[in-house]
Structure 1
Amino acid sequence: MDPPAHAARRPAPMPTDPSDPSAVPGRRTLLRTGLATGAAAATGLASPAPAAAAPSPTATPADRVITLTGELPTGAPDFVYLPVEVPRGVREIAVSYGYDRPAVPAGTPGNSCDIGIFDQRGTDLGGRGFRGWSGGFRSSFSISATAATPGYLPGPVDPGTWHVVLGPYQVAPQGLTYSVQVTLRFGAPGPAFAPHYPAERARGRGRAWYRGDCHLHTVHSDGRRLPAEVAAGARAAGLDFIVSTDHNTSSSHGAWGPLAGDDLLIVPGEEITTRNGHWLALGLDPGQFVDWRYRSRDGQFPRFARQVRRSGGLVVPAHPYCPYVACQWKFGYQDADAVEVWNGPWTYDDESAVDTWDAQLAAALREGRDWLPAMGNSDAHSDPQPIGSPHNVVLADDLSRPAILDGLRAGRSWLAESAAVQLEFAATGHGRRAGIGERLTVPADAPVDVELTVSGVPGGTARLLTDEGQLHQETLPADGAPATVRWRTTASLAGYVRAEVRRPRPDGTPGKGNSMGPDLPWGPMAALTNPITLHLA
């Protein structure tokens, strides 16, 4: 995903200054430290006494500090809820925490513990009480009516029982000892925060191909970039749209409005990081939050997939073969709308994802089911991770949230390493023509002519694949100039045809391995299309 692309995801130390976006570990590690998942079960392992009763209304109380301590054993619940009684008159609630990190034997996970908070409306799964999450990215946060630490939602600090929630996703054999300090600051609440959500559409080109990155992070979860820096990076990468997907929070949605424009559509979203894999909720209503506190065995994923679809959004399993704790996809694909088969720089897990997607594609067509479109996204968190590498090139009726999501849902899209890569792909037969994501219905033995035009991949290899595997390949010009590859088949021989464009291997030999090692037969991906399906008339 990013350099170092395959470093072990050890728990990252907390930044010494959590408000400083530069004090952040690398993205591979962040995929792990952003986790906060599992069954939403309360626990009796840590039950601190509630705060004292509300002060006399005639007094002006000073800040009140509550310290909550406890120890969690190996096998602790995925979530530990610590109740805090918040009296009337609290202007701001501030929380800081720490936990021990004892030495562990080689190969044994050490302590890692995430944090978030729910307000007086409760901790019910999918309920209204969510007020923020920062995973393991920050050691402190605060919430008031006017402002909140990124990852947290500004709003009233109403009286009642709030809950600090700990997510001990790794516990050492010695256990995990924690200390949470809650500071209640009293006073007038201040003006209410006013979110500025992005517009639903930008100035498009009508029905056209639009480029967009649908998996990006900011300081609102575990990224180093401010939203303004992400928007600037998207424009520099030649993108028409982006989707904001911070982990387990909607807090960034209200920051994007001033950063969108006629030239850039910004779509709200979320990356839901569970203990059994991550998924992208693309195209949420502004401010909409999707819960993440469940495992595959809990049977809750379909419920939240339906929630996303009710808002017109897409459910997309992310990096399904990412080989680290809690990242591999375990929920199946029956509730998915697409799958992210390419995440950041091309790696072994992307190769596995494409192979699995291709097998599912063949099975779906054989069984007469809808097939699952492929997507590619950068998952960029910080410099030097490039925004837009890879990204999706989508045929949409307009540059609007509904139109872009419709194009992705239909598979009218292809995946590009960068905006320098250009591609056209179509099949014609029996007087008909179909493009990417479309179906061509022809008599069984009618000739079907497939044509792929590519530029921007010097010395690359163009591959045409069907349900039989690769049936044609050609080497592209060394200067990256446009080249057209033509091939003929029939609907009786191919249920679908799709295209891949690969970079040459580092030693300059086309089509014989890639930067991950000499044992793979192809170079890194430069472009990948969704299929054109062939049907018998």
Structure 2
Amino acid sequence: MCENDNCRRPDPEADLDPAFDPADDPGPDRRALLRTGLLAGAATALTLAPISFAAADTPAPVSGTDSRTITGHLDTGAADFVYLPVEVPDGVRQLAVSYSYDKPAVPAGVPGNSCDVGVFDQRGTELGGEGFRGWSGGFRTSFAISNGEATPGYLPGPVEAGTWHVVLGPYQVAPQGLDYQVQVTLTYGEPGAAFTPNYPPDRAKGRGRAWYRGDCHLHTVYSDGHRLPTEVAAGARAAGLDFMVSTDHNTSASHGIWGPLAGPDLLIITGEEVTTRNGHWLALGLPPGRWIDWRYRARDNAYPRFAREVHRVGGLVVPAHPYCPYIACQWKFGYQGADAVEVWNGPWTYDDESAVDSWDSQLAEAVRTGRPWLPAMGNSDAHSVPQVIGSPHNVVLADDLSRDQILAGLRAGRSWLAESAAVQLDFTATGHGRQAGIGERLTVPLDAPVDVKVTVAGVPNGTVRLVTDEGQLHQESLPASGAGTVLWRTTASLAGYVRAEVRHPLADGTPGQGNTMGAALPWGPMAALTNPILLSADGS
């Protein structure tokens, strides 16, 4: 998602090695990364002729390097994935790959060339298989893998003999086609010491049953971010967060470095942003080291398989930024099998407004039909400065500050979305001697009075909206102090649910016109958004 209209293309010539210093470059805008640095999946594939380094009857050298280069051309409409087999002999210490492609001029409005890269090892390229060894999308022009280390985004480990596959992902091809060049270099010698991952613990100190703040969509240099993991963890602490989820695109490579960065004050949960050609989704709470495949489109009917895989390990499936306007970002898989939906992604924009409207319609239908409802989430999707970690984030009611309890709170919708830790909110509904909070159900006689109470702080001159399955039924303005309490009475016969929004004033300082017609914008940017309190009549 994009903060402004000045989105920049990522620089594909910036070859980010393990010593990359993000301070040297402020980095591309996040929506530009979504638009032009996609980590594309494949519904169709093309396998090229193999590259061989040694004849079957020729011993591999014991030291030195050997390189091979292949060039080729892809026409518009090329397969989503192009596999380049590499026959790796025994005795290889390191495999290194560099690639490039041409960028011919195209008319305005016509996609130019953009091509991703990754690699699978001798265990094969089977969908969901064990051969995955790394992916960097279009963010790097080279990578290297050895037993003890690897370029960020790639998995260290032995370079074993067999057929490896360098993978090109030409997700945009110009009318002139795409000319590419790939160079593979093998370095021979002893493998050296193995990399030892240091995974984060699944529990932090916590405060028992309490509200915990966390950002569930964050990127580092291990995919297309410009922040080091140390900087992301420091940013999470600076934002007042209790937990964060690591969600680098299409790779688990960063999981093994988070251990020293977690602590009693910060729970770090491992995950992945699964970046397909038909939308992105968050796999939250993956076991450390677990990778989820992305090489499919909606028409392939493979998404349900991988959603089930995430569920089997106790994780959450969350469609991300479903209305992001850039290529391959809009969500096309439907919401069956999802555990929540990311309706607020980074600074508030029109596509977040669309996502909330769509979510609210789904919520009303679920309440009407008695089907399970889908909780809302909000995350920063921060990649680099000046994108703010923790803006927005989720405030989750959980029994403990642990992976399982945080995921349980999110799954149940016991959460609200906050622009920052400066925003405070409490939301309850009381009737017939009973009380319910966010994500809970209040059952009362059909016409019994239900008193809804919202207490807010940290939103100067904001507007509190109360929205039901009938639409907005109440709004009040907050004072300049940003703190206030709103009371409203309804019944279960009038509202199947009630949820709260807190909006900032419009740019001109006015509170927004709400449900009116005309040129005036309806609302200012979101400051807080709750999941619903459900209202049911006795016997229903």
Residue 498 of structure 2: aligned partner: 497
The one-letter code sitting in structure 1 at the alignment partner of 2:149 is A
Q: How does 1:332-371 map to 2 (within 5 A)?
A: 332-371=334-373
Deviation for aligned residue 1:39: 3.2
Residue 216 of structure 2: aligned partner: 214
Distance (whole Å) between structure 2 residues aligned to residue 394 and residue 420 of structure 1: 16
Show structure 1 runs of 4+ deviating over 6 A.
none
Deviation for aligned residue 1:16: 3.4
Residue 156 of structure 1: aligned partner: 158
Distance (whole Å) between structure 1 residues aligned to residue 15 and residue 166 of structure 2: 20
What TM-score comes out, normalization by structure 2 length?
0.96
Deviation for aligned residue 1:55: 8.3
Residue 270 of structure 2: aligned partner: 268
The one-letter code sitting in structure 1 at the alignment partner of 2:392 is P
Indicate the RMSD between aligned Cα atoms, in angstroms: 1.6
Secondary structure in 2 aligned to 1:167? strand
Which sections of structure 1, spanning at least 5 residues, go unmatched?
Answer: none
Residue 403 of structure 2: aligned partner: 401
Name the stretch that deviates more: 406-415 or 63-72. Answer: 63-72
Deviation for aligned residue 1:2: 4.5
- After superposition, the C-alpha distances for 1:318-376 in whole angstroms (9 at most, x for unaligned) are 00000010000000001110000000000000000000000000000101100000000
- After superposition, the C-alpha distances for 1:19-45 in whole angstroms (9 at most, x for unaligned) are 23445422111113442334354315x
Q: How does 1:15-34 map to 2 (within 5 A)?
A: 15-19=13-17, 20=20, 21=22, 22-23=24-25, 24-34=27-37
- After superposition, the C-alpha distances for 1:157-181 in whole angstroms (9 at most, x for unaligned) are 0000000000000000111010000
Residue 200 of structure 1: aligned partner: 202
Which sections of structure 2, spanning at least 5 residues, go unmatched?
Answer: none
Deviation for aligned residue 1:48: 4.5
What TM-score comes out, normalization by structure 1 length?
0.96
Deviation for aligned residue 1:483: 0.9
Secondary structure in 2 aligned to 1:385? coil
Residue 476 of structure 2: aligned partner: 474
The one-letter code sitting in structure 1 at the alignment partner of 2:510 is T
Secondary structure in 1 aligned to 2:293? coil
Deviation for aligned residue 1:68: 1.6
Deviation for aligned residue 1:105: 1.1
- 8 Å Cα contact 2:50/2:87 also seen in 1: no
Residue 13 of structure 1: aligned partner: 11
In the superposition, relative to structure 1, how do residues 490 and 204 fare at CA in structure 2: closer, same or farther (>3 Å)?
same
Secondary structure in 1 aligned to 2:186? strand
Residue 257 of structure 1: aligned partner: 259
Task: Confirm or deny that 1:43 pairs with 2:46.
Answer: yes
Residue 108 of structure 1: aligned partner: 110
- 8 Å Cα contact 1:34/1:247 also seen in 2: no
Query: % of aligned pairs identical?
Result: 75
- 8 Å Cα contact 1:93/1:142 also seen in 2: yes
- 8 Å Cα contact 2:461/2:511 also seen in 1: yes
Secondary structure in 1 aligned to 2:52? coil
Distance (whole Å) between structure 2 residues aligned to residue 495 and residue 8 of structure 1: 41
- 8 Å Cα contact 2:323/2:330 also seen in 1: yes
The one-letter code sitting in structure 1 at the alignment partner of 2:441 is R
- 8 Å Cα contact 2:278/2:330 also seen in 1: yes
Deviation for aligned residue 1:449: 0.4
User: Which of the numbers 297, 300, 316 marks the counterpart of 2:299?
Assistant: 297
Q: How does 1:509-520 map to 2 (within 5 A)?
A: 509-512=510-513, 519-520=520-521
- 8 Å Cα contact 1:39/1:294 also seen in 2: yes
Deviation for aligned residue 1:15: 3.5
- 8 Å Cα contact 2:8/2:28 also seen in 1: no
Residue 382 of structure 1: aligned partner: 384
Secondary structure in 1 aligned to 2:522? coil
Deviation for aligned residue 1:468: 0.6
Deviation for aligned residue 1:73: 0.4
In the superposition, relative to structure 1, how do residues 473 and 33 fare at CA in structure 2: closer, same or farther (>3 Å)?
same
Distance (whole Å) between structure 2 residues aligned to residue 317 and residue 528 of structure 1: 18
Secondary structure in 2 aligned to 1:63? strand
Secondary structure in 2 aligned to 1:238? coil
In the superposition, relative to structure 1, how do residues 259 and 59 fare at CA in structure 2: closer, same or farther (>3 Å)?
closer
Residue 428 of structure 1: aligned partner: 430
Task: Confirm or deny that 1:178 pairs with 2:176.
Answer: no
- 8 Å Cα contact 1:133/1:248 also seen in 2: yes
Distance (whole Å) between structure 1 residues aligned to residue 452 and residue 179 of structure 2: 63
Distance (whole Å) between structure 2 residues aligned to residue 59 and residue 464 of structure 1: 72
- After superposition, the C-alpha distances for 1:64-117 in whole angstroms (9 at most, x for unaligned) are 101121111000010000000000000000000000001111111000000000
Secondary structure in 1 aligned to 2:397? strand
Residue 124 of structure 1: aligned partner: 126
Distance (whole Å) between structure 2 residues aligned to residue 518 and residue 143 of structure 1: 57
- 8 Å Cα contact 1:71/1:178 also seen in 2: yes
Secondary structure in 2 aligned to 1:98? strand
Distance (whole Å) between structure 2 residues aligned to residue 176 and residue 505 of structure 1: 46
Distance (whole Å) between structure 1 residues aligned to residue 469 and residue 104 of structure 2: 52
Deviation for aligned residue 1:512: 4.2
Deviation for aligned residue 1:519: 4.9
The one-letter code sitting in structure 2 at the alignment partner of 1:349 is D
Deviation for aligned residue 1:145: 0.3
In the superposition, relative to structure 1, how do residues 248 and 518 fare at CA in structure 2: closer, same or farther (>3 Å)?
farther
Distance (whole Å) between structure 2 residues aligned to residue 212 and residue 518 of structure 1: 37
Name the stretch that deviates more: 56-65 or 370-379. Answer: 56-65
Residue 529 of structure 1: aligned partner: 530
Distance (whole Å) between structure 1 residues aligned to residue 153 and residue 479 of structure 2: 47
Residue 483 of structure 1: aligned partner: 484
Deviation for aligned residue 1:511: 2.0
- 8 Å Cα contact 2:8/2:29 also seen in 1: no
Secondary structure in 2 aligned to 1:364? helix
Deviation for aligned residue 1:59: 4.8
Deviation for aligned residue 1:9: 6.6
Deviation for aligned residue 1:293: 0.3
- 8 Å Cα contact 2:40/2:116 also seen in 1: no
Distance (whole Å) between structure 1 residues aligned to residue 520 and residue 225 of structure 2: 33
Name the stretch that deviates more: 50-59 or 421-430. Answer: 50-59
Name the stretch that deviates more: 61-70 or 348-357. Answer: 61-70
Secondary structure in 1 aligned to 2:79? coil
Secondary structure in 2 aligned to 1:409? helix
The one-letter code sitting in structure 2 at the alignment partner of 1:230 is V
- 8 Å Cα contact 2:315/2:407 also seen in 1: yes
Distance (whole Å) between structure 2 residues aligned to residue 55 and residue 149 of structure 1: 32
